[in-house]
Structure 1
Amino acid sequence: MAAAEPGPEFTITRLFRAPRRRVWDAWTKPEMLAQWFGPKGVTTTVLRFELRPGGLLHARMEMPEGGTMWARFVYREVVPPARLVWAHAFGDAAGNIAPSPFGGAWPPELLTTVTFEPASGEAEATQVTLRWSPIEATAEERAAFAAAIPSMSGGWGGSFDQLDRFLG
């Protein structure tokens, strides 16, 4: 049975030297999202994109060493250009929730909250904060998430590096 208690939270913040609207668009226009989203070196293809509460994003990520991963988001909040909230999961080719391709315990879904704030004192800069936490995960899944937090900084950091280059 899944626990209702909140799990650990991962947070990453980055300053992007681009206007808030451009940074927002990079997250909310599928043709832009595909150019930077995912682990370093992947080729991302957005297959379905419905930017609205209850809408689905389904994407395929081709890994540089071979293999495919699938991403699945179900949007909960869309507040342009300030906030996105979605349930984030690994998926399958059909867009269903799938177990982690890395094996072992992992939360089936993660609550993802991304905020876009004008940077104080920085003209044409945007501060992005991403928060990730397990949704209704078991104790074992929450523990696996907590143990992976250090590597998430590298993973999301790499994605944010790609976004920074894309916005440049």
Structure 2
Amino acid sequence: MTGTGNQTRHHETQIVADPDVPLVRITREFDAPRKLVFRAHTDPELVAQWMGPNSTQNRIDHWDCRTGGSWRHVSIQEGQEYGFYGSFHEVRPDELIVQTFTLEGMPDGVALEKLVLEDLGDGRTRLTATSLVDSFADRDAFVASGMEVGVNEGYEKLDELLARG
């Protein structure tokens, strides 16, 4: 959905650190059908276009988005490469992705991530993503690492991608 002046509407992203569990919860609405939002999270060519902050480029080395599959991508920022990898534990078309997320070089910092897509009707979708880590210290370091910038800028790029269909 586009607003006046042919500009894409951006929704607020809520990022909440759970006080009782070492978990971060991200909630965001998109003006696009659930099927398109799901595809943007599972098609490696699309993922590379929107994921992360504006200051990075992404290279998908491996992306087998199915239950039991795995993935690896590299974010490139100012000539530095940062590798990430994980496994897809459960993928349900158009509604759910459960995966692990690990920054290369930090094998003890595995996060368990769950992404749920809810059809809100009228071509709108609510995304709720949770990331559970091993400790509150790891969670707080994750949040302090600039995650908020990457999430917000990434979802703004995703808005633009979804608006193009």
Q: What is the TM-score of this pair, normalised by structure 2?
A: 0.78
Q: What is the identity, as a one-letter code, of the residue corresponding to 2:24?
A: F
What is the total number of aligned residue pairs between the two structures? 143
5+ residue gaps, structure 2? 1-19
Contact 1:60/1:68 (<8 A) preserved: yes
| Residue in structure 2 matched with residue 66 of structure 1 by the alignment | 79
**Is the Cα contact below 8 Å between 2:109 and 2:138 reproduced in 1?**
no
1:1-168 to 2 correspondence within 5 Å?
7-63=21-77, 65-91=78-104, 98-99=105-106, 107-119=108-120, 122-134=121-133, 137=134, 139=135, 142-149=136-143, 151-168=146-163
Question: How well do the aligned residues superpose, as a CA RMSD in angstroms?
Answer: 2.0
Structure-2 separation of matches of 1:152 and 1:67: 17
Letter in 2 for 1:128: L
- CA-to-partner distance for each residue in 1:17-52, whole Å, 9 max, x for gaps? 011111110001111111111233211111111112
Q: C-alpha distance in 2, partners of 1:13/1:163?
A: 14
* 1:86 alignment partner, SS class: strand
- Normalised by the length of structure 1, the TM-score is 0.77
Structure 1: which 4+ aligned runs deviate by more than 4 Å?
Answer: none
Aligned-residue sequence identity (percent) comes to 27
Identify unmatched segments of 5+ residues in structure 1: 1-5, 92-97, 101-106
